[in-house]
Amino acid sequence: MLLKDIFSRFPNEESCISYFREIRQTVGITCSKCGGNEHTWLNGRGEFQCKKCGCRISLTKGTVMESSRLPLYAWFFTAHLMTSFKQVLSAKEIQHQLEMKEYPPVWLMMMKLRDIMGKRDATYKLSGQVELDVSYFPTSILVDDNGEKVLETKKTTVLVIAESKAVDEILSEYLSNIADNESINKASRLIKRASRQSVKKVVHYIKMFAVPNQQYETIKPFITKNIDADAKAVTDGGKSLFRLKELLKEHEAHQETDGGKHEVVVNVLPWVHIITGECRSGIEAIHKEIDERFLQLYLNEYCWKFNRRFFRDSKDPKYDLFDHLIKIAATYTSDIKWKDYAGAVNIVNIS
C-alpha cells in the first residue's frame, strides 16, 4: 500500500475498527473463560461475545494494542509509515504527523510494533548455508554518577546471521532442471541481477541479536534456537564461533589469507557486513546512539523489513506489508512498558 492510500482506505476511526474486526475474526479469537473460538460481534458495544459462554472481549484484548488509549487510527497510521519506508522513523516525527501533544504514547506504540516484529520472525529458523559474525553497535547505558543518573557510551555486541549462497551454486541448481520453465526464468533473472552487483552471493533471510558478550556459551542458545541443526555455518574463524561444529552439521571457518581480511569480507561473509553497516547507519542517522536496552527492538524492525524486502515491489495484495503488520498486531501482545524505559528516554533527547 502506497503512502497516499492510507487516507482513502482508512478515512476515519470507524473504518479502522471495521478492518481490525475482520482481521481478528480471520486470525481467530479464543475465549479466555471457556476456550471457545466462535464469537459474535456486538456492534453497539464494540465487543466480541463468546457463543459458548457469553463472555465478552474487547476489540483489542489479546493484541498489541491491548490497554492502549490511542485510537486505532494512530496505530494504523504509524504501522503504515513504518512499513512504507525502509529507514528508521523518528517517534518525534510520528508525534508531529499525528498532532499528538504527548511523546511517550507514540514512542511506546512504535516500540511495541518493533517487539512483535521480532516475535513473528522468531517463529522460523535459518537453514542451508548461513554466514555468522559478531559486530558492535554504539549504544548508551544508564549509570549512577554520584547519585545522578547519566548515560554512558558503550559498544554492544550483536550476533549477525544471514542465509546466503554463492550465485554459481544457485545457478547450478536451477539449470539442473532445464526442462522446467520456471527454473530457467529464475536462472535468467539471477544472471541479470548478479551482473549488476559486485557481491556474488545471494541472501535470503537474516537475524540479528544484541547479546551481553561474544563468548561461545553466551551465543550458543541463540544459534541452537534460530539455526537449523542441518545448516552449514560459514565464519571468519573467530574464537567465539570456533565450536559451531558442536551445534551444526558443518562449519566452514575461513582464516585470513594473503588477501587479508578484505578478501574474507567480500567473498566469504559479504552479507553479514552489508546488513550490519546498513542497520547501524540507519539507527545512527536518527538516534546517533540508543539505550542498550532497546537496541534489540530496532534490530527486530530492520530484520523484519529486510526479510520482506521484495514485498514492496509486488502488486499482489497478499504481500502488502501494512496488512502483514496489522495481522501480527492482532496475533501478538507486547510486555514493553513505558516505565521500564522512561528514565533513559527522559534523560537523552531521543528523536
Q: What sign does the CA torsion over 58, 59, 62, 63 have?
A: negative
In a domain, 213, yes or no: yes
Give the pLDDT score at 151. 76
The rounded mean pLDDT for the chain is 87
In a domain, 6, yes or no: no
Give the pLDDT score at 86. 86
Distance CA 92, CA 106 (A): 8
Indicate whether 66 pLDDT > 80: yes
Indicate whether 76 pLDDT > 90: yes
Give the pLDDT score at 195. 55
Predicted confidence (pLDDT) per residue in 103-145, tens digit? 999 999 999 999 999 999 999 999 999 999 999 999 988 777 7
In a domain, 41, yes or no: no
Cell numbers that stand for 194 in this block: 548478479
Give the pLDDT score at 277. 95
User: How many domains does one find in the chain?
Assistant: 1
What are the distances in angstroms from CA 89 to CA 11, 139, 340?
23, 18, 21
Predicted confidence (pLDDT) per residue in 241-298, tens digit? 889 999 999 999 987 654 556 677 778 899 999 999 999 999 998 877 788 988 999 9
Cell numbers that stand for 332 in this block: 501478538
Give the pLDDT score at 156. 95
In a domain, 247, yes or no: yes
What are the distances in angstroms from CA 100 to CA 72, 105, 126, 198, 336?
14, 9, 40, 45, 21
- Label the pairing between strands 250-253 and 232-235: parallel
Give the pLDDT score at 212. 94
In a domain, 163, yes or no: yes
By residue range, what is the domain housing residue 341? 129-347
SS3 of residue 109 by DSSP: helix
Q: What is the DSSP string of 333-347?
A: -----HHHHHHHHHH
For the chain, the first-to-last Cα distance in angstroms comes to: 26
Closest alpha carbon to 136 in 277, 347, 302 = 277
Indicate whether 235 pLDDT > 70: yes
In a domain, 238, yes or no: yes
Give the pLDDT score at 3. 80
Cell numbers that stand for 97 in this block: 504527523
The residue with cell 559478531 is 134
Q: What is the DSSP string of 232-299?
A: EEEE---GGGGGGGGTSSEEEE---BTTHHHHIIIIISHHHHHHHHHHHHHHHHHHSSEEGGGHHHHH
Give the pLDDT score at 258. 45
Return the H-helix or E-strand segment holding 303. Answer: helix 295-306
What confidence category does residue 349 fall into, taking pLDDT thresholds of 50, 70 and 90?
very low
Instruction: Please state the pTM of the whole predicted model.
Output: 0.88
Average pLDDT, integer, range 308-332: 90
In a domain, 62, yes or no: no
What confidence category does residue 21 fall into, taking pLDDT thresholds of 50, 70 and 90?
very high
Predicted confidence (pLDDT) per residue in 198-216, tens digit? 666 889 999 999 999 999 9
SS3 of residue 221 by DSSP: helix
Q: Worst-scoring range by mean pLDDT, 44-53, 191-200, 314-323?
A: 191-200
* Those residues with Cβ within 8 angstroms of residue 46's Cβ, 6 or more apart along the chain or in another chain: 17, 58, 59
Give the pLDDT score at 228. 97
What confidence category does residue 167 fall into, taking pLDDT thresholds of 50, 70 and 90?
low
- Kindly report the length of the chain: 351
Indicate whether 146 pLDDT > 60: yes
In a domain, 265, yes or no: yes
Distance CA 326, CA 163 (A): 27
Judged on CB neighbours under 10 Å (0-12, 13-18, 19+), 2 is: exposed
